[in-house]
Amino acid sequence: MTRKACVIGWPISHSRSPIIHGYWLKRYGIEGSYERIPVKPEELPAFFSGLIGQGFAGCNVTLPHKEAAFRTVGTADAATSRLGVVNTVFARDGELWGTSTDGEGFLASLTAGHPGWCAKGQTVVILGAGGATRALVGALIDAGAARLLIANRTRAKAEELQRDFGAKVEPRDWTEAAEILRHANLLINTTSLGMTGQPPLTVDLDNLPKTALVTDIVYTPLETDLLQRAKARGNAIVPGLGMLLHQAVRGFDLWFGTRPEVTEELYDLVARDIDPGYRR
Ligand code: ATR
């Protein structure tokens, strides 16, 4: 039987998930499909009501539906309850369940991109406290990180993360960003700064230890200005594309029954879609 999955969002034309899941379907010889479906916010309840009937094993959920999907489908695990968002929906025994794979995708990307890396006991400096930050904070705390210093332009959002995730989260003013880098074992940009079409991230890196690992959740461009500056001064870097690839693993397994591998070939395929001039 052909198994079907899809990604929903509004707009959805930019999503690279069909490239990822299409690659795995072919690689594992699975008879299945994965398509993009544009769904307007007001159409979301009807979309979910009809999903199983239309033969779908589930879907990925992207902007702006992640919170609404969380409220609509069952919550599959405790980590997802704490996040309040889902990015992956799957059918079991005629019902829809939702989970979030962003946190594990983030950790898996760091481990794959920097073998031997481990969150345990680490001090992490996070720039930004928007929607994407929550899953990372949850995953890093669960993986044993010691301190998460979070600098955000709107400090109240970093304080909200402290309320939700506890005292390991330490809110900081955005103006303190350059100063607190001296504590970092790991530096993460979760702001939209540095993304193609957005202003650059100009935080000075002078205080950052050369031993700190640097990553960015922005993957357009593949190597943000932050990553280039960090690399130029000798820091190890992990580009953001890895998180996109690794967060897709569990969804594919839930829908198609095979845990897929994030290969170099897949990385290159998606990297070339983002930047046709990409060379490994
Ligand atoms: P969300 O994911 O909640 O929708 P967003 O608008 O995508 O948030 O922004 C993501 C992050 O980038 C936020 O931390 C945002 O800071 P605020 O919480 O203060 O909005 C950050 N960000 C966006 N533009 C920024 C800028 N010019 N300077 C500093 N941080 C910025």
Residue 182's CATH number: 3.40.50.720
**pLDDT digit string (tens) for 84-126?**
999 999 999 999 999 999 999 999 999 999 999 999 999 999 9
pLDDT at residue 60 greater than cutoff 80? yes
Do 251 and 266 fall into the same domain? yes
**Residue nearest atom 12 of ligand 1, based on CA coordinates:** 191
Do 247 and 234 fall into the same domain? no
> Which residues partner with 98 through β-bridges?
75, 89
Closest-lying ligand 1 atom to the alpha carbon of residue 174 = 29
Q: Which of 62, 153, 193 to mutate to test the pocket of ligand 1 (most atoms within 8 A of CB)?
A: 153
Percentage, residues of the chain above pLDDT 90: 98
Do 124 and 166 fall into the same domain? yes
Closest-lying ligand 1 atom to the alpha carbon of residue 190 = 11
**Residue nearest atom 3 of ligand 1, based on CA coordinates:** 130
**pLDDT digit string (tens) for 126-183?**
999 998 999 999 999 999 999 999 999 999 999 999 999 999 999 999 999 999 999 9
Do 208 and 247 fall into the same domain? no
Point out the catalytic residue in the list 26, 40, 66, 168.
66
**pLDDT digit string (tens) for 179-205?**
999 999 999 999 999 999 999 999 999
Cβ-in-10-Å burial (0-12, 13-18, 19+) of 206 comes to exposed
In the chain, what are the helix, strand and coil shares in percent, each to the nearest 5?
Answer: 40, 20, 40
Do 134 and 224 fall into the same domain? yes
Give me ligand 1 centre to Cα 218, in Å.
12
Do 38 and 155 fall into the same domain? no
**Residue nearest atom 25 of ligand 1, based on CA coordinates:** 193
- Whether 280 maps to a domain, the answer reads no
DSSP 81-147: HHHT--SEEEEETTEEEEE--HHHHHHHHHHHHSTT---TT-EEEEE--STTHHHHHHHHHHTT-SE
CA 223 to chain centre: 16
Do 10 and 85 fall into the same domain? yes
Evaluate: CB of 153 within 6 angstroms of ligand 1. yes
Which amino acid appears at position 167 of this protein? A
Q: Which of 152, 176, 195 to mutate to test the pocket of ligand 1 (most atoms within 8 A of CB)?
A: 152
Domain containing residue 221: 104-239
Inter-residue contact 246 to 108 (CB < 8 Å): yes
Would residue 40 show up in a list of annotated catalytic residues for this protein?
no
Evaluate: CB of 192 within 6 angstroms of ligand 1. yes
Q: State the Cα angle at 219 between 248 and 174, rounded to 5°.
A: 115
What CATH number is associated with residue 55?
A: 3.40.50.10860
Evaluate: CB of 62 within 6 angstroms of ligand 1. no
How many structural domains comprise the chain? 2
**pLDDT digit string (tens) for 19-38?**
999 999 999 999 999 999 99
Give me ligand 1 centre to Cα 129, in Å.
7
Q: Which residues contact 269 (CB under 8 A, 6 or more apart)?
A: 19, 23
Give the pLDDT score at 224.
Answer: 98
3-class DSSP string for 131-151: CCHHHHHHHHHHCCCCEEEEE
Tokens 């609509």 sit on residue: 72
Q: Which residues contact 48 (CB under 8 A, 6 or more apart)?
A: 69, 72, 73, 89, 96
Inter-residue contact 278 to 222 (CB < 8 Å): yes
